[in-house]
Amino acid sequence: MTRFFGLLLALGTLLPAAHPGFAAHAQDAEAERGRSGLPVPRFVTLGAGEARMRTGPGRDFPVDWLFVRRHLPMEVVDEYGIYRKVRAPDGSEGWMDKALLSGARWGMIIDKVATVRAAPEVDAPPVWRAEPDVLVHIQVCSAGWCRVQADNRAGYIRTSDMWGVYREEEIE
């Protein structure tokens, strides 16, 4: 009888792990965090005034792009040692040393002029308008809206109007 319960116990621990759904769930959980322990993907910004994007994770790889715009948002899509594979607002991808990146949150206005409002509501009065490619400092985000600041002006903008924050991301 003891052998019977031992067999049941062994099967009870092995079968869930062998189930494809269980294995996929375990892989998804691992894929959400990079080797740094931070989420992947995630947004960061260029902390340096000049940053080289390389074709691979190391100094031996050729430089593909040179970015000279501090606070430009980048999306980290992979990690390898001290290097981060990033995606730029124009869609180009490459590797950068993590020392060139910052966790500060900035957004870049995309596509069209964005209306910055006095409150996080579509009917709120406009405070100012931001042209495409303008960088805004992200202060907080909730329910599809972010409070942003640029040139001593502040207000609320929809997350869909900028690159540098996910649509439903919450930032405190």
Q: For 19-49, write each residue's pLDDT tens digit.
A: 434 333 333 444 488 888 999 999 999 998 9
Tens of pLDDT along 111-142? 999 999 999 999 999 999 999 999 999 999 99
Q: Would you state the pLDDT for residue 15?
A: 39
CA distances from 77 to 18, 35, 43, 44, 83 (A): 29, 12, 9, 11, 11
pTM of the predicted model as reported, rounded to 2 decimal places: 0.79
Residue 107 has pLDDT above 50, yes or no: yes
C-alpha–C-alpha distance, residues 151 and 147, integer Å: 14
